[in-house]
Structure 1
Amino acid sequence: MKKIFALIPVFCLFSVLAFGQWVNDKGHSRVAFIVQHHGISEVDGFFKKYEATLTAAKDDLSDAVFEMTIETASLNTELEMRDNHLRSPDIFDVQKFPTITFKSTSFKKKKKNLYTMTGNLTIKGITKPLTLEVTMNGPVENPNKNAKNIQVGIKALGKIKRSEFTVGQNLTTAFVSDEIQLRITGEFNKALPKN
């Protein structure tokens, strides 16, 4: 009997790992940013390489925890000269700071499918709190009958100030705005239990 009780915590942990993990579908996801240029237009870009995880013990994902690691060198604004400058020590300094990380600390429902997510964002070794407004669609069953899995879609919007992370300290706001808009979209598939 003692052995059975001793195994209960292990079983609970296995249940969370097996049924609480959601896998990011990168083919239907994007980590994007938007800045204002010369005060008259917007330039947007995205990161090609990142890892994102979603973990939740509850079926409605009300206790969801999001984690993301982004490779800074994978940024793309579709202009090579600008991208090389963004990777340089002047801006992101990708050699010294190869990743950007985020981990949520709170995920609260506002109404219907709208949530407020807070967490810690680290850029260039500096960690600041970040609040994102999230629209979550699902969970729903994949309409593809061959897939037989459960999906959820998210859209997270937020803003940061690059100056708070020492990004482009020598770059005046007359050229590029201090405020950077974030737009993160993605699909996650519920991990199937291993046989």
Structure 2
Amino acid sequence: MKQVFSFLMIAFLSTTTFAQTTWKVDPAHTQVSFGVTHLGISEVEGRFNEFDGSITTTKDDFSDAQYEMTIEVPSIDTGIEMRDNHLKSADFFDAEKNQKMTFKSTSSERVGEGKYKVKGDLTFHGITKPVTLDVWYRGTVENPQNGDVISGFAISGEVKRSDYNLGPDFPEAVLSDKVVIDVDGEFKKQ
């Protein structure tokens, strides 16, 4: 009886493993950006140019998806070198000591057709906090040029600078505490 049970467990685990699909981010067709309000009157936007990410799922509609993203903090780019250097300094990201920002999902809840609330842990600047992101699964297509199967996602959310001790010497009148995060891109089926 133990042998039959062991065989059934191995068969079940093998089926589960094979049914799981991993999708890797395509950096050439993905943007990781952020926005913060300056002096209460204008939006300053930037992006991170170096990142890696994956989505793992067993369902075609991504309703059970697990999301992971790693961002290289020194790749921050606002289009102004002086500002980028200041953001990399100990006043903000302290990028020399804190080179990576990571997100790992803990749950996903369907809230509409192709739309999900994804909860997870965001870690940067040495601090981990739970965040909730809005995920819009835009669909899956086959690239006619090379046959790759690609899924598109728009991911957005908000975090507070104060939760991560980011720029503590800059009051909200100078820089909003709220930072908007946007990831818009493509993930290739592996």
Query: TM-score if structure 2 supplies the norm length?
Result: 0.91
| 1:60 CA displacement | 2.1
Secondary structure at the aligned position of 2:187 is classed as strand
Deviations 1:123-167 (A, max 9, x none): 1111111111111111x23141x4223221111111111011000
| 1:57 CA displacement | 1.5
What corresponds to 1:89 in structure 2? 90
Instruction: Output the CA distance in 2 between the equivalents of 1:143 and 1:151.
Output: 7
What corresponds to 1:100 in structure 2? 101
Alignment: residue pair count: 187
What corresponds to 1:170 in structure 2? 169
What corresponds to 1:160 in structure 2? 159
Instruction: Output the CA distance in 1 between the equivalents of 2:112 and 2:57.
Output: 19
* 1:100-179 correspondence runs (5 A): 100-138=101-139, 140-144=140-144, 146-179=145-178
Instruction: Output the CA distance in 2 between the equivalents of 1:9 and 1:93.
Output: 47
Instruction: Output the CA distance in 2 between the equivalents of 1:152 and 1:170.
Output: 41
Instruction: Output the CA distance in 2 between the equivalents of 1:111 and 1:13.
Output: 26
- When the two chains are superposed, the root-mean-square deviation of aligned CA atoms in Å is 1.9
Deviations 1:8-55 (A, max 9, x none): 366346515xx5111211111111000011111111000011111110
Aligned partners of 1:107 and 1:116 also within 8 Å: yes
Aligned AA for 2:165?
T
Instruction: Output the CA distance in 2 between the equivalents of 1:106 and 1:112.
Output: 17
| 1:105 CA displacement | 0.9
What corresponds to 1:11 in structure 2? 14
1:79 aligns with 2:80: yes
| 1:112 CA displacement | 1.0
Instruction: Output the CA distance in 2 between the equivalents of 1:28 and 1:40.
Output: 31
Aligned partners of 2:143 and 2:150 also within 8 Å: no
Secondary structure at the aligned position of 1:11 is classed as helix
Instruction: Output the CA distance in 2 between the equivalents of 1:12 and 1:112.
Output: 28
Query: TM-score if structure 1 supplies the norm length?
Result: 0.88
Instruction: Output the CA distance in 1 between the equivalents of 2:16 and 2:89.
Output: 43
Q: List gaps (5 residues or longer) in structure 1.
A: none
Secondary structure at the aligned position of 2:146 is classed as coil
